[in-house]
Amino acid sequence: MKNSKKPAVVLLSGGLDSATCMAIAREQGFLLYAISFRYGQRHRVELEKATLVAQSFQAEKHVILDIDLGKLGGSALTDSSIDVPKHESVDEIGSEIPLTYVPARNTVFLSYALAWAEVLGSNDIFVGVNALDYSGYPDCRPEYIDAFEVMANLATKRSVEGERLRIHAPLIHWSKEEIIRKGLELGVDYSLTSSCYDPLPSGLGCGHCDSCLLRERGFRQNSMLDPARAPR
Amino acid sequence: MKNSKKPAVVLLSGGLDSATCMAIAREQGFLLYAISFRYGQRHRVELEKATLVAQSFQAEKHVILDIDLGKLGGSALTDSSIDVPKHESVDEIGSEIPLTYVPARNTVFLSYALAWAEVLGSNDIFVGVNALDYSGYPDCRPEYIDAFEVMANLATKRSVEGERLRIHAPLIHWSKEEIIRKGLELGVDYSLTSSCYDPLPSGLGCGHCDSCLLRERGFRQNSMLDPARAPR
C-alpha cells in the first residue's frame, strides 16, 4: 500500500503554516519528505519544532540544510544589528514590506526543494506560503509561485523527460483563522509549532512580533488560546 | 568615477566560462561582486581558481558560500559513489543529460545571486551558462534563463518597487572557440582557471572528462594550447 504513494517534498519551517501544509499533503496521500533550513535565523527553536512536526506526521525523511543566507545580510531575521519590529496589537502592523523580509528566501528554499524533488523522482512540492496575512512579502504572492513553477518546469532533467512538477501552495488565499481551522480538522498539534520571529529563551513566542500577533488572532478567531504561547 | 558604476553580481566558478563572463561584465562597466559555492563538488580546486580570477579582475567583493547540495545526492560531481565519465576524445561525448548534471544547481546558484543582488541594490546578474557545448544540461538553456528572470522579477522587494532585474547570459549561444576568443580579446588569463570535473592532485585538468575535452578543443581552435592543462 505504502509503495503506491507518491513522494512529495514539503518545506517545513516548524511554524503553524508549514505544519498545516504538511497535514494537507498527507491528507492528499503523499509520502512526506520534509526539508528545513538553518539559515542564520534568530528563531532557531523553529528547527527543533520542525523535527517534532516531521516526527508527528511520520515523514519518510526530514533533512535540515545549513545555508549561508545570513552571510549576504539585509534582514532583521538574520542580522542581529537590525531589531525585529514589535507591536502591541495586530492593528499596528504596517502594509509595507517589513524588516523581517529575508531577501529571496522562498526562492532559495524552493530551489533546494526542486533539487531534492529531482533526486527523489517527485513531481510535487508543498509550500505553506500565505498571501493574505503576510502583508507585503513579495515571494508569498500567487503570481510569484506560478512563475517559480514555470521556471522549475524548464530547470530539471525530469522536466526535459516530460514530467510535470507542481508547486502546491494550498494556504495561499486563506486567512490565519482558516488555516488553523483546517489544521485542527486534520489533527495538527499546534503546541509542537513555533511562529515567533524572536522567541523567548524558553522557546515560547514573544507575543509582540507580527507573526505572534497574527497567530494569536487566528487562534482567538477559532475560540481557543494558542497552545504554544507563553501565559500572560 | 568609480561610484557612478552600477554593481553586478557575477556567478564565478573558477572555470573558463565564468571568467569570460566576468570579463564581459567588467567591459560593460559594472562593479563586480563575485559569488562562488562550495557545494560538495569533487573539483574544489575551482574555488582557489575563482579567488584568483576575482582578484585578477579587482572585484569589489568575492563571497564563497557553503551549501549542502551534496546532502541531497544525485550527481557524479557531488557523490563520490558515482564515477565522473571519461572519454578519449570529444566525439565520444553523448547527447543525453550527463551524470555530471547536478540537480537544479543553476537554480540554487541563481537564487543566492538574486538574494545578494537584492541586498546590494543591483539589477544585474551575470551567469556564464552555455547552451551549445554543454549538451543536455536543462538549466543552461535560454528558455530556462528567461523563465528565471520572469520569476526573479516577482520575487523581490526591489521588483515590487518597480526595479527591473536582468539575468545576463552573454555566452549562452557561443561555442567554446568563440568564448575563448572573446576572453583573450578582453585579457582573461586562462591559466588562472580550471574547468576539470575530476582534477589531478596538482590541480591541473585530467584531460578526459567532457569539460576538459571541450575546453581543449576550444583552445586548439584558437591555435593555442590550454594554459591550465597538464603537459602530455
A114 interfacial to chain B (CB closer than 8 Å) = yes
User: Using CA atoms, how far apart are residues A200 and A127, in angstroms rounded to an integer?
Assistant: 26
Task: Name the residue type at position A199.
Answer: P
Residues 6+ apart with CB under 8 A from B103: A114, A115, A116, A118, A119, A156, A157, B72, B74, B75
Residue A227: per-residue pLDDT: 87
Q: Which of B100, B106, B111 is most worth mutating to test chain A (most A CB atoms within 10 A of its CB)? A: B111
Q: Is the ipTM of this complex over 0.90?
A: no
DSSP A76: T
> CB–CB of B206/B199 below 8 Å?
yes
Nearest C-alpha neighbor of A198 from the set A75, A105, A97: A75
Q: Name the closest residue on chain A to residue B37, using Cα atoms.
A: A68
Q: Which of A39, A146, A148, A163 is most worth mutating to test chain B (most B CB atoms within 10 A of its CB)? A: A148
Q: What CATH number has the domain spanning A2-83+102-188?
A: 3.40.50.620
- HEC profile of chain B: CHHHCCEEEEECCCCHHHHHHHHHHHHCCCEEEEEEEECCCCCCHHHHHHHHHHHHCCCCEEEEEECCHHHHCCCCCCCCCCCCCCCCCHHHCCCCCCCCCCCCHHHHHHHHHHHHHHHHCCCEEECCCCCCCCCCCHHHCHHHHHHHHHHHHHHCHHHHCCCCCEEECCCCCCCHHHHHHHHHHCCCCHHHCCCCCCCCCCCCECCCCHHHHHHHHHHHHCCCCCCCECCC
B150 interfacial to chain A (CB closer than 8 Å) = yes
Residue A219: per-residue pLDDT: 95
User: Using CA atoms, how far apart are residues A226 and A203, in angstroms rounded to an integer?
Assistant: 14
> Are A104 and B159 inside 8 Å of each other by CB?
no
Q: Helix axis angle, A105-120 relative to B105-120, nearest 10°?
A: 180
Which residues of chain A have a pLDDT value below 70? 1-3, 42-43, 74-82, 84-85, 87, 90, 92-100, 133-135, 230-232
Residue B188: per-residue pLDDT: 96
> Are A103 and B156 inside 8 Å of each other by CB?
yes
List of chain A residues whose C-beta atoms are within 8 Å of the C-beta of residue B73: 119
Give the start-to-end residue ranges of the domains of chain A.
2-83+102-188
Maximal CA-CA distance, chain B: 56
A105 interfacial to chain B (CB closer than 8 Å) = yes
At A87, is the secondary structure helix, strand, or coil? Answer: coil
B139 interfacial to chain A (CB closer than 8 Å) = yes
User: Using CA atoms, how far apart are residues B156 and A172, in angstroms rounded to an integer?
Assistant: 18
> Are B151 and A143 inside 8 Å of each other by CB?
no
At A61, is the secondary structure helix, strand, or coil? Answer: strand
Q: Helix axis angle, A176-185 relative to A16-27, nearest 10°?
A: 50
Kindly report, residue by residue over B149-160, the tens digit of the pLDDT: 999 999 998 888
> Are B147 and A143 inside 8 Å of each other by CB?
no
Residue B135: per-residue pLDDT: 60
> CB–CB of B31/B57 below 8 Å?
no
Q: Name the closest residue on chain A to residue B142, using Cα atoms.
A: A154
> Are A115 and B63 inside 8 Å of each other by CB?
no
Residue A160: per-residue pLDDT: 87
Residue A1: per-residue pLDDT: 47
Which residues of chain B have a pLDDT value below 50? 1-2
Chain B stretch 45-74, residues whose beta carbon is closer than 8 A to a beta carbon of chain A: 63, 65-69, 71-74
C-alpha cell at A162: 516530460
Residue A205: per-residue pLDDT: 82
Q: What CATH number has the domain spanning B2-221?
A: 3.40.50.620
Shortest distance, CA A135 to any CA of chain B (angstroms)? 12
B172 interfacial to chain A (CB closer than 8 Å) = no
B164 interfacial to chain A (CB closer than 8 Å) = no
B135 interfacial to chain A (CB closer than 8 Å) = no
Q: Name the closest residue on chain B to residue A118, using Cα atoms.
A: B103
User: Using CA atoms, how far apart are residues A118 and B103, in angstroms rounded to an integer?
Assistant: 6
Residue A6: per-residue pLDDT: 97
